A = this chain, B = another copy of it.
């Protein structure tokens, strides 16, 4: 019955990247007449694909999207490399694994190009889905469901109208640009002060991995950071993050090597001294931007999804996952509102915006955690505490990273639950502290050598009662 409703409606998707191609598949599966436009040639025909990072961490939210169109196994089982935790590299060359969670759940390192190719090949299976490569968007009118492209090979101009135009054209979206003068369109774009540069650890001479494969390797160094994700060919994609002026400061091979000797001594032999110098000076540091906007829709005819709607810094590994979950959320709303775009689009904006902005913020926060906290004693203590509590009450206490990565808990709820957890931890620590003071007073009374200040004692009843309230209201205040 749904098919009857959708087969006469057309959907135009701009951008055949990860999110755009997946969304095109979702809409084709629903029965719409789908046209997918992409400014690049078919990447399956290219030797080198220009552009962004070559591997990505896939977790539950992304997998849910892939599963819905039947390509999860192809991506995850046949291709993905499981990573069960972080492997911390210290400056003395020693390493320490930190599992992502106590249940052995993992994320998967996948190649951006591979996933994109799988999706494109899947897209071609739908008879009602047409892909138009080498078509660059020139103008678009989301309020009219209209977009104009120029064929970059023939120079021909094409204007197409559809019942719905979806912009999946990435962080620097041209579709979004057309929304800037739409009344009540709120928009923020911000560059962080750090840049990133991709380097590479090649396979060993024997053709194996040069480091333990099933980890996301991290060299946390406060203001700097380096990470490495494994590739299918046993190489590693290494990403160096630091403030732009720091990149500029490494202006000679000597300065570069000296910097690596100080901060990442174990990485020099892994990358190779000559290769490090060659790659570093052949590459340039790239900027990282985050984008927030609202709403995501224009009337019943225009929509933004993926990075076009909510580009984020890469530190939570959720950019692709969030974008793919966008497709799942839209699909759920199309079910709920029977494919009525006039209802679905505002509902999508209202539902998805708080979650997307929450993960944009979390990604910024993890930027600090990865560089700093991951290495600190307090962070590890809190991890153990979280593990303990989630064993005692697995339904109520999931660590933030677990909620974000291994569940589909709405992102904004992940944040509110984390805040609630922090309050509970604070109260518990207060009680532990107060119990300690009370014990001290008891000892002081029995032993005059223990002299304790009583200045906080008067607060004990209030603190205890607050903690009690917090503890008993677990099930009430938890959002």
Chain A positions within 8 Å of B, measured between CB atoms, are 172, 177, 180-181, 183-191, 287, 454-455, 458-459
Contacts and interface: CB of A to CB of B under 8 A. Distances in A.
Given A455-B458, A458-B455, A191 B181 contact: no
B188 A187 contact: yes
24 contacts: A172-B181, A177-B180, A180-B180, A180-B189, A183-B191, A183-B287, A184-B191, A184-B287, A185-B189, A185-B191, A186-B189, A186-B190, A186-B191, A187-B187, A187-B188, A187-B189, A187-B190, A188-B188, A188-B189, A188-B190, A454-B458, A455-B458, A455-B459, A458-B458
A455 B460 CA distance: 11
Majority SS of interface residues in chain A?
mixed
Closest 5 CB pairs of A and B: A188-B188, A186-B190, A455-B458, A184-B191, A187-B189
Contacts of A454: 458
Nearest to A455: B458
A180 B177 CA distance: 9
A360 to B, nearest CB: 13
Nearest to A459: B455
A461 B180 CA distance: 57
A287 B185 CA distance: 11
A454 B189 CA distance: 53
A309 to B, nearest CB: 16
Nearest to A456: B458
Nearest to A457: B458
A459 to B, nearest CB: 8
A287 B186 CA distance: 12
A63 to B, nearest CB: 34
A185 B185 CA distance: 19
A172 B191 CA distance: 22
A454 B454 CA distance: 13
A184 to B, nearest CB: 5
A454 B185 CA distance: 55
Contacts of A189: 180, 185-188
- With most chain B CB atoms within 10 A of its CB, the pick from A172, A181, A455, A458 is A458
A184 B286 CA distance: 11
Contacts of A177: 180
A184 B245 CA distance: 14
Nearest to A293: B189
Contacts of A185: 189, 191
Nearest to A172: B181
Contacts of A183: 191, 287
Contacts of A191: 183-186
A454 to B, nearest CB: 8
